[in-house]
Structure 1
Amino acid sequence: MESRRGQGSLEYLFMIAAALVIVLIVIRVLSGVSSNTPNQQVILYADPENFPTFNTSDNYFVYQTTVTKIGDDLYNVTFKAIAKRDLSHVKIRATLMCNKKPVYVGDQYLTVTDEVENLPKGWYISRYWSPIRRDEFPCEVVLYVWVG
């Protein structure tokens, strides 16, 4: 009668180590893919009559838009993202989208991106678009936010 020898405990340790290496590689690859995906998408409204100011918030920021009159039927749209706590590796891409394309704002300025390595609590990222004609409203400021 033949007897077969079973696997030793050392061989089991090698198999477990190989499985852990594979799991770590998968996690590393997936975390690299997800870093291109924003943590949040936020839509802020801007209209001189209905939404001259608009506020909302999430876990990271308090978001504000303000519409300010700067001339006859001309307005300034400003967004501000105020940090609710100390943050690192912050990226915000903001796009202004209006009822009509703003005549006085060039295409290259409709989407702006800010990146900040460290943003202390209470500090903010802010951008504005100007001038926006009255007939180009209502507008939305669409924010894509990456943190960490």
Structure 2
Amino acid sequence: MRIKLRTKIAVLVLGVVAAFLMANVAWESSRRAELEEAELVQQARALSANMEAVWEFMNKNQDKINYDSAGNFEFKGLQCSIAGRSVGAFFSRDTDYSVRYVSDTPRNVADTPDAFEQASAMSDKIWNSLGVSATVSPST
């Protein structure tokens, strides 16, 4: 039994269309994953900038906190690091995010960066060495 030319062409066209559809699905899936990762990085940088703002606020207002109205120094135990950790703990408690302070040279074991944080820091160093800024820009 011979297969007609029309049938051969139809099968070929259907095969090509199916191949293109599968390639498109794979490409869209990969692109979606890249976009989600970029969004997560942007959110992480925004959270980091927020924590930096808390630290800066506490640093600038430390004298107001520790001096009474008569100008007498009275340390109240509220340091920038304590405020930053507390804000991070409250934020982490109330959301699905985890915010914490880490350092390349920690004095406290709890401040040691995990593997993800180390990779992120290395990525930022690489981008900065290439002259690419890794700052958070405001949304418009």
Please indicate, yes or no, whether the TM-score normalized by the shorter chain is above 0.5: no
Name which one, 1 or 2, has greater alpha-carbon Rg.
Answer: 2
Structure number with the higher strand fraction is 1
Q: TM-score, normalised by structure 2?
A: 0.37
Bigger relative contact order, structure 1 or 2 (CA pairs below 8 A, ≥6 apart): 1
Q: TM-score, normalised by structure 1?
A: 0.36
